[in-house]
Structure formats: C-alpha cells, structure tokens
Chains A and B, each alone.
Chain A
Amino acid sequence: MHRGWLVSEMAAHGAHPPGFAHQFETVEQQREAGTLGMWIFLATEILFFGGMFTSYIVYRSLHLQSFIAGSHELKVVFGATNTAVLICSSLTMALAIRSAQTGRSKGSTIFWLILTMILGAAFIAIKLRYEWYADYVEGIVPGVNWVAGGGHTPGVKMFMCFYFFMTGLHALHMVVGLGILTVLVIMTARNRFSSEYYSPLEISGLYWHFVDIVWIFLFPLLYLIGGRYHGS
C-alpha cells in the first residue's frame, strides 16, 4: 500500500537514483523484480539441463557397461582440477558482491571480478586444451573425429555424445558468464554501483553460482560414477 510514495516524490523532484527504470515505482521494487526474474530464469535453466540429464540417465541405465567404458576415456585429473577452479571462482564472485555490498573501493570489487574471470577462463582453457583437444587426437569425438572400431561399442559413442553435449552446453554458459562479468567490470569502473545499489552484481552472481552447480552435478555423473575406483 505505502510503497511508491517515496519515489513518486523523488520523481516529482527529478531525483532518480542511478540505474532506476521508469516502469518501477520504488528502487526496492526494481531490485525484487530483478532478483525474482533471475531465479525464474534459473528455473528454466534447470529444466533445460534437466532434459539432457534425463536422457543421459535413461541411456546410462540402458547401456550401463558402455557408459562405464566411456567414462574411463575421460581425463579425470583435469576434470577434478576444473572442479576446484570453478569452486574458487564462486568464492571470488561472492567476494566481489560482498565488496560492493559493504561499500569498499571500486578497485576491490573490480579485483575480485577479474579474478573470477581469470578462473572462469582457466576452466575453459583446461577443458579445451587438455580434454577436448586430447579427445580429438584420440579420435573419440562423435561426428567430428570418431575412429570406428577400437573396441568401442555404439553405447560408448552415445556416452561420448552426451559428454560433449553436456560439457559443451555448460562451457557455453561459462562463456556467457564471462561476457556478463566483462560488463560488470565496466559498470563498476563507471561508478554505477554503491552499497545501496548493486543488484546487477547480485543477480549475475546467482547465474555464476548456478553454472558452477551444474558442473558439480556433471563432474560425478560423467567422470566418477563409472566404477572407476572399483578395479574395473
């Protein structure tokens, strides 16, 4: 009921806070709308990845042995390294938001954002150089370079398909995330944020953590649950 009065007055005096959009009545309303919007977007992302996870699980149960054999083709050391890299990047992202929230200098926020970007880029670099490229050399990339035979059943090929689709889709989300971080760095440098207004940082953080969590599910599902450590 009471919301709106303050900003109506502010509007009357032409005192819009920075980043305030005309369709809203209060800054609070805008912040809540942005946050809710991001959560809903993440819900759609869960369903988006969910379709792929479901297909993966169905085929895994249909071709269990082949999927285990396929899992053994993956470079688990680099997968584990990347898991650590991503978790660290979530920490630095959280620190970037905290820095803005507590009104530290913009240099501090930019520092954490750039560190997050470096970690994100490192993830993609490791994935490209030491995993996908190595797979390509070995001839286990379906549809691109697949050396037929080699003791691989069609089920192994299916596993590798899902491996590339799922990690590829995840990497695409990482690239989008890096783009978002670039924009955030520029906005921070232009003094767009303060301890009162930093919701773009906050909702971008939600996205970054989400992409991180997707990997947390992908890593065990693709690399670990193949009975790798049970002498097979």
Chain B
Amino acid sequence: MSTATADIQERPGAESVNYLNANYGIKSWFLTFDHKRIGLLYLASINLMFLVGGIAAVMMRFHLIEPQGALFEPETYNKMFSTHGIIMVFFFLVPSIPATLGNFLIPLMIGARDVAFPKLNLLSWYVFITGASLALIGVLTGGVDTGWTFYPPYSSLYSHTAVTVVAFGVFIAGFSSILTGLNFIVTIHKMRAPGMTWFRLPLFIWAMYATSLIFVLGTPVIAITLFLLALERILHVGIFDPAVGGDPLLFQHLFWFYSHPAVYIMILPGMGVVSELITAFSRKKIFGYSFVAFSSLSIAVISFVVWGHHMFVTGQSVYAGLVFSVLSFLVAIPSAVKVFNWTATLYRGSISYEAPMLYALGFIGLFTIGGLTGLFLASLATDVHLNGTYFIVAHFHYVMVGGAVMAYLGGIHFWWPKISGRLYPDLWARIAAAIIFIGFNLTFFPQFVLGYLGMPRRYAVYPAEFQVLNVMSSAGASILGIGYVIPLVYLIWSMKYGPVASANPWKAKGLEWTVPSPPPTENFAEIPIVTEDAYNYPTIEAHQYPDAPGVARV
C-alpha cells in the first residue's frame, strides 16, 4: 500500500492531499485512527485469510478427484476442511464487508468525519490480528480436525490437535467483531449529518446496522461457549462431557445461538451492497425503500430464534423441532422481500452492465437458489434425509460464496475508485466476474445432486459412482480459483497504473460520491446538510408523466 501511495505523490501534476498521501511510513498506517486506513488494514488482512482458507479448499477438492482420495490421509483431510471452515467463517466472511467496506463507507455515507470511537476501531483490528495469528499458529502446529463447529466430543475427548489454541483465536477475534459492531451502532445513531434522517440513510447503512446488532448480541455467546470448551480441555473438567454429567447438546445450542445469526452477519452486508449496486446501475430509486430497510432489521431479529434447525437430528425434542422449523420458514419472508424489491427496481431501469452490476445480478440469482434450498432444510422431514450431506454444503456455499463473496467483490469493485482513486480495467473485471460465476456454479451445483443422492459431507473417501460429479466440482473449483486471482492482479495493478478516477465515476447518488477520490483524511471539508432522499435518481416516469401523482421529481 505505502509503496503505491508513494508513487502517487511522485507523479507529475501532483494530486490534492488525501487520506492515502497525507502521510507516509509504517507508523502512519499501523497507528492510524482514520476509518479509511483501518478499512484497508482489514482489507489486506482478511484477503490474506481468504487466501489461506482458499488454498485449503483447493487442496480438498483436489483430494476428492479420486474416490479413495488423491492426496491425504483421512486425518489430514479432516484438518484441511476444518481449517477451511474456521478460517473462512470466522476470519474472512464475518469481518469481510463490515470491517472493510463498512469501516470505509459508513462515515462517508452518513456525512461524518470518522466513526464515533476511532481508537476502538484500531484496537478492533489489532484484536482481530491477534486472534487470526493464534488461529494460524494452531493450524500450523498440529491443526484442528473438529470441523468449524467445534462440536464436543470431537473437540474435547477425541481430539488431540491444537483445538485450544484455535478456539482461543476465534474467541479473541470475536471481540473485534463486538468492538466493530458497537462502534457502528453508535456511529449510525449519533454521527449522522444534519438532515440525514433514518429514512434517508443508504440501505447499506441499514444493513450494517442490522449486522452490528447481531455482532453485539450474538458474538458474546459464542465467546463464552468457546471459553468453556477451552477450559474443559485445559482443566480436564467435564462441561460438555456426558461421562461426568455434561451435555454435548448444550454446546450445540449455545454454538448455534451465535452461529446461525452469524450466517446473517455474512449475508446482510452483502444485501446492503447489492441494494446500492442495483440502484446505481439501474439509475433508479430503490423500489420499496422502507420494506428493504425493515427487512434487514427483521432478518436480524428472526435470526436469533431459528438456531434449533441445526439440531433436528441431534436429539432435540420433536416439539422444539416443529417450532424452529416454522420460525426458520419466517426468515424467507424478509429475504424474499429484498429479492422482489431488487427485481422491481430493475424493472424499467436504465440498466448498464459494468462489473459491479454483474456481481450484483449474480448475487440475486445465486442467493435465490441458496435461499430456496434453505427451505428444503427447514422442513423437518426433508432435513432428515439431507442433513449431513453435500446438499447442505452446496446450500450454504450458494449463500456464503454465491451471495456474500459475490457481494463483497461487487462492492470492492464499485467503491474501488473511491478507495484507491484509480479505475481498474473494466473488461478484465467483467471477464473475472463471468469466470467466477461459471466456476462457482460448476463447483457447487453438482454438490446439490451429490447430497441428494446421499453423499455425506466431511468424508475423505466416497463410492466410485459419485466420481463424475466430484470431478466436475473439483474442475469448477480450479476455475473459481483462477477467477479470484484475476481481480487481485488488476486491482493491485490499478493502484499504480490505473487511470485517475473522478469523484463520481459511476454518476451514483450518495454522500460518498460527493467527496474527492480518494477522500481527504477528514472526509468532508464542511459537514454536508442533507436535503434529499437516498437514490434520488430521475425516473423515467418523471420524464414521461411529469404531473402524475406520486412520481418523484427530478
């Protein structure tokens, strides 16, 4: 980063002072309180974690080319999928959009100079780095073979791997989520510019607000749960060990009380990004603003009462299962509200297909598949058949990768000119988006079929009749891997060689586009006064029927 910014200053016709070139050197980055720089620190660190988790995934898929396994001993394979899951969930997906784009954009979007607690913000990054380092140390010195869920007794009696270290890593990283969530809630409540009322906020802000609620209310529970698990291992006392009166199911309850809402930590920010992208590239006001805003909040609230659907077959009572099944179906309502509103926004919009829009459209399609297959799993009887198979793997990858990662990439592309002050090559970006879409579907669609046919997840070997579908999936994974590397190359390239971006290259609405690219350290020379709604794009109706009632004025 600092080398790239150094080049910017050396360019002839020096640009104005901004947050990237305001000062230089290691200390100016590692001791910064600027939310934009902290966002970039997070960007670099979580992408590194994505790389680690991604390598583990590629090796798993390579192993599964042969029915008897091509690469590892079964124990090593167990460590590989556990590493993939733990790194991707806790150290990439959970912080992905909130810690990078959220940090960078929230103050800019609401018209503030910084988040409410800049020092806490920097602290959260150091906490994250500490947790991530511990997890990586654990992975390198013995690994974990518990799966990302740490279920006892896999994680207590039967594991002789570095479970304690990794669990502490996740525990510590949890506090970085809590600090980030706390900071965002206070920022959104108290730092809005004059005139920026709640219903003028960009929908990304509503999504971040809902996400932050889950951060602060869910994360402490998994923290204490992993703490108990670590104590059980260290002190050899039986908290979750049935031999001395413990209850492994209690761990599952506590774990999913956080980890199911955590699924919405991963997808809600993506939904927020997509709401921004769809309006910007349809040049149209979002359809049903308040419905989209409140659907974020209702997803956050409902997410806390559905955790039992992970335990339909693990000894939970039938009646609890019934209730959790019904409640799980409820989540589909606000999710569908969002999808319908996005499609209604597209309707008669002036759509253009720049790279961020390709990701957004990909998100809508893949999230819909991921969401609807979730309903199969929320149904008690179907779940008995599909639980623990590749169907589940495919389902949550459609939501997490097809949804969250697509939105993350779309968001990074959309705001990249603002972040870096440079434009990336749009053709390459579109090619990469297409490759990722194809690679993704080739990887995960066969897994729906595999799961339906009964192939269990987390097995190092499988019957020979599943080989064709597994090879398809592995081939898709290699395409997907290439798709992820391409943006990494051209985005880094663009920091030095990309054309200089204007303040608003997409002609989009929103306060973040009113400041220079990259923004100055203090964001706004003068705090803006907001006088209009979000996404106030001129409508076609306004041109055609300027006098019609209810038509937004240009």
Contact = CB atoms under 8 A, between A and B. Distances in A.
Interface of A: 1-4, 8, 21-25, 29, 32-33, 36-37, 40-41, 43-45, 47-52, 54-55, 58-59, 62-63, 66, 142-144, 153-155, 157-158, 161, 165
B52 to A, nearest CB: 28
Interface string B469-489: 000000000000000000000
Contact of B116 (A37, A55, A142): A37
A21 B116 CA distance: 9
A196 to B, nearest CB: 19
Contacts of B522: 22
B221 A55 contact: no
Nearest to A25: B527
Contact of A158 (B182, B224, B244, B527): B244
Contacts of B186: 33, 36-37, 40
| Size bracket of the B interface | 35 or more
Contact of A52 (B217, B228, B238): B228
B512 interface: no
B254 A55 contact: yes
Interface in B197-221: 216-221
Interface string B35-75: 00000000000000000000000000000000000000000
Interface stretch (B187-195, B321-329, B396-404): B187-195
Contacts of B216: 40, 43-44, 47
B113 A36 contact: no
Contacts of B217: 43-44, 47
A49 to B, nearest CB: 8
Contact of B221 (A23, A51, A142): A51
B464 interface: no
Contacts of B529: 1
A32 B190 contact: yes
B116 A51 contact: no
B26 interface: no
A106 to B, nearest CB: 25
B195 A157 contact: no
A4 B194 contact: yes
B244 A143 contact: no
Given A47-B220, A48-B220, A62 B113 contact: no
B549 interface: no
B112 interface: yes
A48 B115 CA distance: 25
Interface of B: 112-118, 178, 182-183, 185-186, 189-191, 194-195, 216-221, 223-225, 228, 231, 234-239, 243-247, 250, 254, 257, 522, 527, 529
Contacts of A41: 182
Given A40-B185, A44-B220, A48-B224, A23 B235 contact: no
A52 B225 CA distance: 8
A44 B178 contact: yes
A55 B219 contact: no
Contacts of A43: 216-217
A29 B527 CA distance: 14
B228 A165 contact: yes
Contacts of B190: 29, 32-33, 36
Among A44, A45, A62, A158: residue with most chain B CB under 10 A: A44
Q: Would you list the 5 A-B pairs with minimal beta carbon distance, nearest first?
A: A143-B235, A48-B220, A51-B224, A23-B114, A47-B220
Contacts of A22: 113-114, 522
A52 B220 contact: no
Contacts of B182: 37, 40-41, 44
A47 B221 contact: yes
A33 B191 contact: yes
Nearest to B225: A51
B71 to A, nearest CB: 39
Contact of A3 (B189, B194, B221, B225): B194
A154 B225 CA distance: 21
A66 B245 CA distance: 10
23 contacts: A2-B194, A3-B194, A22-B114, A23-B113, A23-B114, A24-B116, A24-B191, A29-B190, A29-B191, A32-B190, A33-B116, A37-B186, A41-B182, A44-B217, A47-B217, A48-B223, A49-B224, A59-B250, A63-B245, A154-B245, A157-B237, A158-B238, A158-B246
Contact of B231 (A1, A63, A165): A165
Contacts of B220: 44-45, 47-48, 50-51
Nearest to B216: A44
Contacts of B219: 44
A225 to B, nearest CB: 19
Nearest to A22: B113
Contacts of A58: 247, 250
A37 B117 contact: yes
B464 to A, nearest CB: 45
Nearest to B219: A44
Contacts of B247: 58-59, 62
Contact of A157 (B218, B223, B244, B250): B244
B228 A55 contact: yes
A18 B209 CA distance: 31
B194 A48 contact: no
A154 B238 contact: yes
Given A45-B220, A48-B223, A48-B224, A142 B235 contact: yes
Given A45-B220, A55-B239, A55-B250, 11 more contacts: A1-B194, A1-B195, A23-B113, A32-B190, A33-B117, A36-B185, A44-B182, A47-B218, A51-B228, A52-B228, A66-B245
Contacts of A161: 231, 235, 237, 239
B177 to A, nearest CB: 10
A23 B118 contact: yes
Nearest to A51: B224
Given A59-B245, A158-B238, A23 B116 contact: yes
A170 to B, nearest CB: 13
Contacts of A143: 231, 234-237
Nearest to A146: B237
Contacts of A23: 112-116, 118, 191
A51 B190 CA distance: 30
